[in-house]
Every structure is written in structure tokens, then in C-alpha cells.
């Protein structure tokens, strides 16, 4: 086995994952690769009460920790790293993010993966987990829909939101005012990064990075 390389993803991308809680900031987000899975929130159901949403979270973390283990144990160029935070891209029926829509959101949940993780490694990890869960009698639909994909956002604005998801509108208003004052407009999906586990954390203790891609208005 070769010398173990320790990869500090959290330190490398700290400026993207730990923004200010007080001020909206602009960042240039490079292309990165993610483990992803898609879904929709059932009408009238909060995400943390949605069985599909919760299953997708579990599948992504299981895949990410399996890949971390495989990366560390490989015989050539082993790499150790910490699993990154859960993220979500949210869109409404029009394809963008209409914040006036309260219960028709589709999502892509994702966890960033280092560049040395290959399609072959991902497919092998997914199949091993799928077979294990099927043997244990657990649902496998989230794993079957999981994929490895590159995603680039470019110029974005972001801020750290503290507290319940239901209080996000006040933080989004601050982002919207910043964008308008600088001659930008939002485009693409609304992006959330969950620094707290949305399945278990108390609402008042939630830490969520709110991010949205921007472009010149008009």
C-alpha cells in the first residue's frame, strides 16, 4: 500500500461552506463532482417528514462513507478525507426557484466527492450497498437513482441562516435586496447546504448555508 494522503476538503473549501451569518457575500463556485439523487416533496409534507427525502439522505451518506472507506483502503494512492455536508438544489415547476411556491418543490440532494472518486468506484459502492439493503429487506429506490455528476454554479451569493427552515424567508429577503442593489438577478435552483442533520437536529439549532447563482439583470 502506498503512503496515505490526507485530503482537507473542509479547509480547502471553507469559504464556500462557512459564510457570514450577518452579511451576504459573493463567491465563485468552481465545478465539483457530487453524489446526487433526485426527488419531490409530497404536497403538504415537510421534508423531514417525507419518507423519500429521508431515504435519499440515508442513501447518500451511506454511499459517501463507503467511498471514503474504499478510498482509504485502496492499494495504490490511498486517500483519507472527511465526508462533506449534505446539500440540496431546490426548484419549482417552472424550472427555477419561485419562493412564492410553498409546496411544489423538487430537489436534488447531493454530497461533494473528491476528484479521485471515479465512476467505477461509485458504481461498485452503489451496487454493494443496494445488494446489502435488498438482502436486509430495506428499500433500495434511493440507491438505484443515485449518480455521480459534475456541477458548476459560477458566481453566487450566499449567507448562513441560523434557525428553523420556516424562518428562511427573512434571510432570503436579505439576499434578494443584495442582488437587486447590485444589478444582479437570481437564476437556476435555490441551493441549501445543511451543516446540521435535517433529520434529527432541533429547529432552533439548525445551521444552513443559503446560496443562489446570480447573473447581470436583464
Hey, where are the domains in the chain?
A: 5-216
Render pLDDT for 68-126 as a digit per residue (tens, 0 to 9): 999 998 878 899 999 999 999 998 777 666 655 556 789 999 999 999 999 999 999 99
Which residues does 194 contact at the CB level (< 8 Å), separation at least 6?
85, 86, 87, 88, 206, 208
Render pLDDT for 47-61 as a digit per residue (tens, 0 to 9): 777 888 889 999 999
How far apart are alpha carbons 208 and 205 in whole angstroms? 10
Which residue carries 474504499 as its cell? 70
Q: What pLDDT score was predicted for residue 3?
A: 87
Q: What pLDDT score was predicted for residue 76?
A: 84
Q: What pLDDT score was predicted for residue 165?
A: 87
Architecture of the domain whose range is 5-216? Alpha-Beta Barrel (3.20)
How far apart are alpha carbons 62 and 57 in whole angstroms? 9
Reading phi first (left if > 0) and then psi (alpha if -120 to 50, else beta), residue 94 is in alpha
Amino acid at each position: 500500500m502506498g503512503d496515505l494522503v490526507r485530503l482537507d476538503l473542509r479547509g480547502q473549501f471553507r469559504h464556500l461552506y462557512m459564510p457570514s451569518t450577518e452579511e451576504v457575500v459573493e463567491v465563485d463556485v468552481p465545478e465539483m463532482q457530487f453524489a446526487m439523487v433526485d426527488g419531490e416533496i409530497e404536497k403538504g409534507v415537510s421534508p423531514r417528514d417525507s419518507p423519500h427525502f429521508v431515504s435519499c439522505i440515508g442513501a447518500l451518506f451511506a454511499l459517501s462513507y463507503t467511498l471514503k472507506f474504499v478510498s482509504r483502503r485502496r492499494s495504490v494512492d490511498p486517500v483519507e478525507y472527511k465526508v462533506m455536508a449534505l446539500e440540496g438544489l431546490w426548484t419549482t415547476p417552472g424550472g427555477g426557484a419561485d419562493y412564492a411556491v410553498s409546496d411544489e418543490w423538487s430537489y436534488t440532494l447531493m454530497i461533494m466527492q473528491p476528484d479521485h472518486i471515479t465512476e467505477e468506484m461509485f458504481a461498485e459502492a452503489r451496487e454493494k450497498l443496494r445488494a446489502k439493503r435488498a438482502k436486509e429487506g430495506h428499500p433500495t429506490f434511493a440507491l438505484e437513482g443515485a449518480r455521480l455528476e459534475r456541477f458548476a454554479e459560477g458566481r453566487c451569493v450566499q449567507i448562513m441562516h441560523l434557525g428553523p427552515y420556516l424562518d428562511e424567508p427573512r434571510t432570503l429577503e436579505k439576499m434578494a435586496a443584495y442582488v437587486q442593489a447590485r444589478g444582479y438577478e437570481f437564476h437556476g435552483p435555490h441551493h441549501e447546504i445543511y451543516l446540521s442533520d435535517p433529520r434529527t437536529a432541533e429547529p432552533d439549532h439548525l445551521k444552513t448555508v443559503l446560496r443562489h447563482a446570480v447573473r447581470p439583470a436583464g
